[in-house]
Each structure stands twice: as structure tokens, then as C-alpha cells.
């Protein structure tokens, strides 16, 4: 079974998302995620890869820049 799991982390909390799940509003108090772990077990064609990259960009926008 092919799947992708995305784990966004704040100082004390981890948020587990499936591909396509919205990262909007993820935060622990006033801290936004600043680390991400991506687990991918999927074969992709060019269109699927483009969609995957777009989702990674969406996750990047939900994260804070620099250290917490």
C-alpha cells in the first residue's frame, strides 16, 4: 500500500498529516511548526510528482522560519 505521512513539529507537539490534508491553523499556543519529517512510500508519474511538490510548498508556508 502506497502512502505518505507528514509530521510537522513544534517545540513539544507533533502534528501527523496525510497528503492533501490542510495544515492551516497548526500551532501549539503561539508556536507554528518549524520541523517536518516526510515519509514517502509511493511511485509517482510527472503529474503526481507535481501535485506532491505543490503540497510540500503548502506545508512550507504553514511553518515558521528559523528556530522556534
Distance in angstroms (rounded) separating the CA atoms of residues 23 and 21: 6
CA–CA separation, 38 and 61 (whole Å): 15
What does pTM read for this prediction? Answer: 0.81
pLDDT computed for residue 65 by the predictor: 64
> Does residue 51 sit in helix, strand or coil?
helix
**pLDDT given for residue 54 in this prediction:** 95
For residue 59, the model assigns a pLDDT of 92
For residue 14, how far is the Cα from the chain centroid?
11
What's the pLDDT tens digit per position in 8-56?
Answer: 999 899 999 998 899 888 888 888 899 999 999 999 999 999 999 999 9
pLDDT of residue 64: 74
Amino acid at each position: 500500500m502506497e502512502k505518505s505521512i507528514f509530521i510537522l513539529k513544534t517545540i513539544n507537539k507533533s502534528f501527523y498529516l496525510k497528503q492533501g490534508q490542510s495544515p492551516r491553523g497548526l500551532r501549539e499556543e503561539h508556536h507554528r511548526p518549524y520541523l517536518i519529517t516526510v515519509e514517502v512510500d509511493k511511485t509517482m508519474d510527472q503529474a503526481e510528482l507535481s501535485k506532491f511538490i505543490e503540497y510540500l510548498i503548502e506545508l512550507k508556508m504553514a511553518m515558521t522560519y528559523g528556530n522556534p
